[in-house]
Amino acid sequence: MRKIHLILFILLAAFGSLVGFGWNEIGGTEFIPSQEESSSTVEASITEDNDKEILHEEELREKKLSEATEIASAEQIPVLTYHHILEEKDLKARHYDAGGNLASTIVLLKDFKKQMKVLHDHGYYTLTLEEFEKYITNKIDIPKNSVLLTFDDGHKNNYIEAYPVLKEYGFHAVEFLITSRNNDQTEPYDSITNQYLSYEEIEASSDVFEFASHTNRFHNHKEDGTAFLISKSLPEIEEDVETSIKQIGGTNALAYPYGAYDEETMEAMKAAGIDLAFTVQAGYVSPGDDMLQIHRNSVRPYHSIDDFKEILQLS
């Protein structure tokens, strides 16, 4: 009897060692995976579900675009530019100029909300960069009420203030990043300083924003005020832009810092792989326009809601 017990003990020990190595036997021939294998399976399933969800959203977006275009297609569209979005209570002395006027790069949150409501109420379609590029290259038609929303510099207040408003309306926007100013550490919000998006915030807002280049370190100028994109050599510009593209994870779009560029700048853009380059020159975009000199309309703190509607060419 003792021998039988000993044999059973040895068999149970052997079985236990097999379980420890992931051979969880059920019914003699069927096995279930170990905990590590189960985790991998779950992760793969989640990834697959996320991919399906993204594909579904893209299909819905294409359907919405097609249906809206059938009603009326756009002959030209506006591209809007924002920088800072701030709450009135967060304004400090540094946000005003010597004449007591709010800095031209600031739009108050209350005004931004009104502007986004105008877009929503008039059924505006907020384009992705891919859709915009296909429109300007005559590959697709887009709805009459279409707009490309852009934000320059990648300020933290865009995530704190603008992102929730855009998300509420299901809007899409482009954030042009000065990539040397993005960092790993997410700091507490403080409107008194020029804070920039952390990588965590970039990831968290990627359901609304897509990210493009505002250069890496060339959002700068010489002592005489000449912008780097004009004063630096073509190879230097190309290297800086390529660095920013790499840090973003790939993009073919850039906004010229200060709106400064010349023929050599545009050659550097082509060499770096930039197909869409945005200026600060006011105007509208139509199919066939120069893709390296895209017009944009800046939204300013002194713009009334009627001014905003006029920019949109709403009657």
**pLDDT tens sequence across 202-213:** 999 999 999 999
Fold entry, domain 76-311: TIM Barrel (3.20.20)
Q: Between vectors from CA 187 to CA 184 and to CA 191, what angle results, nearest 5°?
A: 130
Rounded Cα distance, 228 and 236, in Å: 10
Q: Is 7's pLDDT higher than 50?
A: no
Query: Which amino acid does the sequence have at 194?
Result: N
User: Per residue in 231-280, pLDDT tens?
Assistant: 999 999 999 999 999 999 999 999 999 999 999 999 999 999 999 999 99
**Is-contact 31 25, C-beta < 8 A?**
yes
DSSP state of 242: H
**pTM of the shown model:** 0.81
Pull the structure tokens for residue 72. Answer: 């009326």
Phi, psi angles (nearest 5°) of residue 290: -65, 120
